Amino acid sequence: MKISESHQCFADHLDDQTALEYPERFLGPNWKDVLNFWIYLDTLSDGDFRLIVERCRALDLDVGARVFDEYSARSAAAVDTIGGEYKTAAWYAHPTLLGACATLELIGSHKILEQNKPLSFLLTHLNL
């Protein structure tokens, strides 16, 4: 299994290297999607990340209250899925705010989609 920088950072933050061998124990039912996303993030350039920020602005995701609401919903879904300690480690696994938000969104995506809400942060990262 390929280990992304974010996956390694996640394990380091937990101080538990078994997170590298058994990510399903730590990342919940969407663990494969999270690992694939983290590998994908490793391939992005600075220009790609600038485009992601522009896409978020176009979605109005960077306006204070809206970001808080969006982040809160994703964070709650992630905590419900994997618990607070693992959610915090997942948050710090990627150095960009939007990559962290998209990670939490993926972790709790099944709960978000059950509520008929979109995966806003993830969509800004696709098709670059």
Q: Is the pTM higher than 0.95?
A: no
Domain assignment of residue 42, yes or no: yes
Instruction: Give the pLDDT band (50/70/90) at residue 118.
Output: confident
Domain assignment of residue 79, yes or no: yes
The pLDDT of residue 70: 67
15-63: pLDDT as tens digits: 999 999 999 999 999 999 999 999 999 999 999 999 998 887 777 655 4
Per-residue 3-state assignment (H helix, E strand, C coil) for the chain: CCCCHHHHHHHHHHCCCHHHHCCHHHHHHHHHHHHHHHHHHHCCCHHHHHHHHHHHHHCCCCCHHHHHHHHHHHHHHHHHHHCHHHHHHHHHHCCCHHHHHHHHHHHCHHHHHHCCCCCHHHHCCCCC
The pLDDT of residue 101: 86
Domain assignment of residue 128, yes or no: no
**Segment 62-91 mean pLDDT:** 76
Domain assignment of residue 114, yes or no: yes
Percent of the chain surpassing pLDDT 90:
52
Split into its structural domains, the chain has a count of: 1
Domain assignment of residue 58, yes or no: yes
Q: Which domain holds residue 115?
A: 5-123
The pLDDT of residue 95: 84
The pLDDT of residue 57: 77
